[in-house]
């Protein structure tokens, strides 16, 4: 049944749980219509992930009293809502999302997902936001599809919902897929990327995370001439697109999705949004098919490359918070670290610049003796494999704590190595004579 966005929003009642879905699949017209009902008399709980456009409900209720914003993974937009006290994080390993909806989350009152126009077989394609939308719509009491004719249509089993499962359709002229800033690699990123690229062999199967640094790794791999690559990743980014366009990706050595570049969502430039449209080289799968470690390890030679914010001298990686201030989310990092390790010949890399400059100009080491209280550990020390900075790459697997300390200090900025060694001795992480 076709209805207007305003009619769809009028179904929402105080106390309802409304799910906006993920990334480019979040609704725009419905969001504006719901924001116009900010006086509906009680809180509405809205669940979402990785907002790529400003949300009207946030603007209509900046204190988060009437629209309670709950989020599986923060973008910059979501982080600002959290900083203002209007948004809240939901901890999650990304690959578990479909199972969480099916097992632990009460049925959603209204699910609103933006999709492509219906195809000849009656399916509404999820575009570049397959993720957990299948499970979400299964668990919703009311499913609303907001049709955007400008969205790219993306191939892949499970990347869509049949009209028989849809309660209401909101037709729009559409804004198309949003662009997601990838970050411009700086000189430090390039140095780190070259270190990592030196460990990537022909035939490797790549997972690349978000940001300027992981994209720089793709550029370094391209420049190194590495060939016959595969792609099995959660996020398709511009750097991976460039590897495909450069003829370096065949997928021939994969065992899961042979010959296809597999991902669960896309985020990047307008060029990337155009690239994913009906591209036969690509398939988008539900996130439990891309991110669970047993699916990852099915491919040989998996190389996982992600960014982290801090690593302590025992090897704990903090990638999602600074103290109690939440920044992003666990996402798929831990699952890809584990899946890559379990893959035959696999490798995982956590990358970070050795220092950061605070707003007051103070320079701090990102390799620290101990994490700040309240900081969330994303990848435990038992799982971390390779750590890469601009000063080199070290492997922590199989290393004792004293060996880890020595390895991590070797890739810390030289200005901080003596202090880190002192802190390690004081903390009894090493014998007094060791560092």
Structure tokens belonging to residue 186: 């700086």
The answer to whether residues 10 and 119 touch, using CB atoms and an 8 Å cutoff, is: no
* CA atoms within 13 A of residue 41's CA, in its CB half-sphere: 4
Does the annotation mark 234 as catalytic? yes
Residue 197, C-beta contacts closer than 8 angstroms, at least 6 positions apart: 217, 220, 221, 223, 224, 226
What's the chain's Rg over C-alpha atoms?
Answer: 22
In angstroms, the CA 286 to CA 136 distance is 11
Pairing of strands 386-389, 392-395: antiparallel
Residue 159, C-beta contacts closer than 8 angstroms, at least 6 positions apart: 125, 126, 130, 283, 284, 285, 286
What end-to-end distance do the CA atoms of the chain give, in Å? 70
Cα 265 to Cα 23, 132, 222, 337, 365: the distances in Å are 8, 10, 22, 19, 33
Active-site residue (options: 234, 283, 289, 390): 234
Pairing of strands 160-162, 123-125: antiparallel
Q: Give me the active site residues, please.
A: 234
């Amino acid at each position: 049944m076709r209805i207007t966005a305003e009619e769809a929003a009028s179904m929402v009642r105080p106390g309802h749980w409304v799910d906006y879905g993920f990334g480019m699949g979040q609704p725009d017209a419905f969001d504006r219509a719901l924001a116009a009902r900010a006086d509906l008399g009680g809180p509405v709980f809205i669940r979402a992930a990785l907002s790529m456009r400003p949300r009207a409900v946030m603007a209509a209720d900046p204190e988060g009293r009437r629209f309670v914003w709950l989020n599986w993974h923060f973008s910059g937009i979501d982080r600002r809502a959290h900083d203002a006290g209007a948004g809240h994080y939901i901890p999650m390993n990304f690959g578990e999302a479909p199972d969480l909806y099916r097992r632990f989350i009460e049925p959603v009152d209204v699910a609103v997902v933006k999709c492509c126009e219906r195809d000849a077989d009656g399916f509404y394609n999820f575009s570049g936001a397959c993720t957990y939308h299948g499970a979400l719509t299964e668990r919703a009491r009311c499913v609303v599809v907001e049709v955007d004719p400008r969205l790219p249509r993306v191939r892949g089993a499970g990347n869509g919902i049949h009209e028989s499962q849809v309660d209401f359709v909101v037709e729009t002229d559409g804004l198309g897929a949003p662009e997601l800033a990838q970050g411009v690699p700086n000189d430090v990123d390039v140095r780190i990327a070259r270190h990592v690229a030196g460990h990537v062999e022909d035939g490797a199967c790549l997972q690349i995370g978000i940001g300027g640094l992981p994209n720089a790794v793709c550029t370094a791999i391209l420049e190194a001439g590495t060939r016959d690559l595969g792609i099995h990743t959660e996020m398709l980014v511009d750097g991976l697109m460039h590897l495909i366009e450069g003829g370096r990706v065949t997928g021939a050595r994969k065992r899961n999705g042979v010959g296809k570049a597999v991902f669960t969502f896309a985020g990047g430039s307008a060029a990337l949004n155009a690239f994913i449209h009906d591209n036969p080289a690509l398939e988008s799968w539900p996130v439990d098919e891309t991110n669970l470690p047993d699916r990852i390890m099915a491919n040989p030679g998996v190389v996982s490359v992600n960014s982290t914010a801090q690593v302590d001298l025992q090897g704990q990686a903090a990638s999602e918070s600074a103290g109690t201030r939440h920044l992003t989310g666990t996402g798929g990092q831990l699952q890809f670290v584990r899946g890559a390790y379990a893959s035959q010949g696999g490798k995982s890399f956590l990358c970070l610049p050795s220092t950061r400059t605070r707003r007051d100009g103070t320079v701090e080491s990102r390799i620290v003796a101990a994490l700040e209280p309240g900081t969330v550990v994303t990848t435990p020390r038992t799982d971390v494999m390779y750590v890469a900075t601009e000063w080199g790459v070290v492997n922590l697997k199989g290393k004792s704590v004293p060996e880890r300390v020595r390895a991590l200090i070797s890739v810390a900025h030289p200005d901080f190595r003596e202090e880190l060694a002192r802190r390690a001795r004081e903390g009894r992480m090493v014998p007094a004579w060791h560092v």
